[in-house]
Chain A
Amino acid sequence: MERLADQYANRAVRSVFIYTREAHPGENYRHHRSMEEKRRNARAFLEHSKVRRQILLDDLEGAAHRSYGLLPNMTWIIGRGGLIHYKSAWTSAADVADALEGVLDFQANRAKNQWALFYSERTAWSTRDQARFHEGLVRAGPQAVADYERMLKGSGTSRNAPSPDIGPRVPGNFYRTEEESGER
């Protein structure tokens, strides 16, 4: 996402990172009980990740995060004036770039071409880097690892393949085969 931010900065696209609650708190990076604790974790994130985008902290109660849907790593594209062009449950730089091209084309050529905007939904996909994700859990602390493993045992998410052409199920994939839905 850093590369994407740099790539589009000269096309009047502003990219920001909004810091929320800790998704997988552990002994090393605990849940926030104050804004100072939130700032401390955000500074540690900045130091580790070398994010160059502007980092903006949501309030302690997560007012913005709640309003936008509470997911841990979503991305939104907002057009000039506040029109929501894109919302994604997970962040994929390739998918964001694809959507951005459409948004910029729309904004530049809408009037000339008399384009009318309409609502649409679609799926997207990305590679799940489980090794890198696990590194993050270890960094957060043993509790974060244990909490996540407990969730996996309980839900089985990310391990089942609903069909040969739809890949492993991840959170946010609502697809169920006829058999799983009890329709067959």
Chain B
Amino acid sequence: MNNAEYNYSEFVSSPNEFLEFAVHAPKASMRAPSFPLEDLATGATVHMKDLWSTGVTVMEFGSFT
């Protein structure tokens, strides 16, 4: 999947996306992958692993649309 495919301009549902999530995304009891993210408020880089270094973290993924 390239950048244009990821940021699609028109919504087209993928019949297998939920199955992919269930089967291929990390599972409960595994170690969470960490990626750098950008804090919208400050512009600072936040590494996901720093979120859960001291306690429990709830992560909701989403967008405006």
Contacts and interface: CB of A to CB of B under 8 A. Distances in A.
A68 B34 CA distance: 10
A107 B9 CA distance: 43
A60 interface: yes
Given A23-B11, A41-B63, A84-B29, A63 B58 contact: no
A54 B27 CA distance: 25
Contact of A85 (B12, B28, B51, B60): B28
Interface in B6-65: 6-13, 15, 17-22, 24-41, 46, 48-49, 51-65
Interface stretch (A24-32, A160-168, A176-184): A24-32
Nearest to B8: A31
A26 B59 CA distance: 26
B11 A25 contact: yes
A34 to B, nearest CB: 10
B52 A69 contact: no
Contact of B41 (A15, A55, A72, A155): A55
A80 B64 CA distance: 29
Interface in A136-165: 136-137, 139-140, 143-144, 147-148, 151, 154-155, 157
A172 B18 contact: yes
A143 B10 contact: yes
B19 to A, nearest CB: 7
Contact of B64 (A48, A57, A85, A174): A48
Chain A: interface residue count, which band?
A: 35 or more
A75 B35 CA distance: 16
Nearest to B64: A45
A100 B56 contact: yes
Contacts of A17: 60-62
B38 to A, nearest CB: 4
Contact of B56 (A58, A104, A143): A104
Interface of B: 1, 3, 6-13, 15, 17-22, 24-41, 46, 48-49, 51-65
4 tightest Cβ-Cβ pairs between the two chains A and B:
A69-B25, A45-B64, A69-B21, A56-B37
13 contacts: A13-B56, A16-B51, A18-B62, A19-B40, A22-B63, A25-B9, A32-B7, A57-B39, A59-B38, A72-B61, A74-B60, A78-B56, A143-B10
